[in-house]
Homo-oligomer: A and B are copies of this chain.
Amino acid sequence: MKQRILIVDDDPGIVAAITPALRAQGYEVSAAHDGETALAAFRQVGPHLVLLDLVMPKLGGIGVCQQIRQQSATPIIVVSVKGAEADIVTALDNGADDYLVKPFRLSELLARIRAVLRRSRAPQPLIQCADLVIDTTRRIVLRQGQPVSLTPIEYAVLAELVAHRNGVVTARQIVQRVWGPQYADATDYVKGVIRRLRVKLEPDPAHPRYIITEPHVGYRFNDASGTVSSPSSP
């Protein structure tokens, strides 16, 4: 699935300059030109990353930052002409992940996007959980050492759950990430896939241990045991 980037900038020139470069890298790009439409677009598109200008009509970049952070951990890179120490510190302390001063070098922006996305999607190569092993690099799932055959959609949904393991993911989020933003309310799809996943992965599909339903909120991948591979910060 293509990664989606939302550009928020009131200067159409900037948007026009960046967009094709991002598309060339294989990202899907959408844009908003003021703070309020940015938040609406954010909810609708469910992007994997936000490129955010600071100076904007309606609602400033800092405000957008805070609003997004209240509802999501989606990475944000602020791109602004304001290069003062105070601006940078304020943005970073209000939830931005990186800060780039205009004018910037395109390849640097791309590299910073890669770095931020790499960390946020943190595909820990191996996730082990009782009798399940999920190898995200090979797209393989083992259950009690036996490989489980998953269809592409099943795997994509599982990956989405595992990416936020121990956290709740709404059906809406899953549909947006796996099928695309335009399917946002086709949450029926998820029901079916979740069921098939449970049949294939759960010891007792009727009483799930891994794929837990958080009533009226969404689903949660329950990883009781700590992840064993690739030790992160000790």
Q: Determine whether the beta carbon of B115 is less than 8 Å from that of A92.
A: yes
Residues of chain B within 8 A of A216, CB atoms compared: 151-152
Residues of chain B within 8 A of A231, CB atoms compared: 71-73
Query: 0/1 per residue, A74-109, Cβ < 8 Å to B?
Result: 110000000001001100110011110000010110
Residues of chain B within 8 A of A41, CB atoms compared: none
Query: 0/1 per residue, A219-234, Cβ < 8 Å to B?
Result: 0000000000011111
Does A120 belong to the interface (CB within 8 Å)? yes
Does A138 belong to the interface (CB within 8 Å)? yes
Does A207 belong to the interface (CB within 8 Å)? no
Q: Determine whether the beta carbon of A233 is less than 8 Å from that of B85.
A: no
Q: What's the Cα separation between A72 and B227 when bound, in Å?
A: 13
Does A145 belong to the interface (CB within 8 Å)? no
Q: Determine whether the beta carbon of B138 is less than 8 Å from that of A168.
A: yes
Determine how close the nearest CB of chain B comes to the CB of A52; give it in whole angstroms: 14
Does A2 belong to the interface (CB within 8 Å)? no
Does A37 belong to the interface (CB within 8 Å)? no
Determine how close the nearest CB of chain B comes to the CB of A190; give it in whole angstroms: 17
Q: Determine whether the beta carbon of B107 is less than 8 Å from that of A89.
A: yes
Q: What's the Cα separation between A114 and B33 when bound, in Å?
A: 29
Residues of chain B within 8 A of A168, CB atoms compared: 138-140
Chain B CB within 10 A, most for which of A48, A89, A98, A136: A89
Determine how close the nearest CB of chain B comes to the CB of A25; give it in whole angstroms: 13
Q: What's the Cα separation between A96 and B108 when bound, in Å?
A: 13
Residues of chain B within 8 A of A46, CB atoms compared: 233-234
Does A13 belong to the interface (CB within 8 Å)? no
Residue of B nearest to A45 (CB): B234
Beyond A108-B85, A168-B139, is A93–B120 a contact (Cβ under 8 Å)? no
Residue of B nearest to A137 (CB): B73
Other A-B contacts than A72-B233, A73-B233, A92-B112, 7 sampled, CB-CB below 8 A, are A71-B231, A72-B232, A92-B111, A93-B114, A139-B168, A151-B216, A152-B216
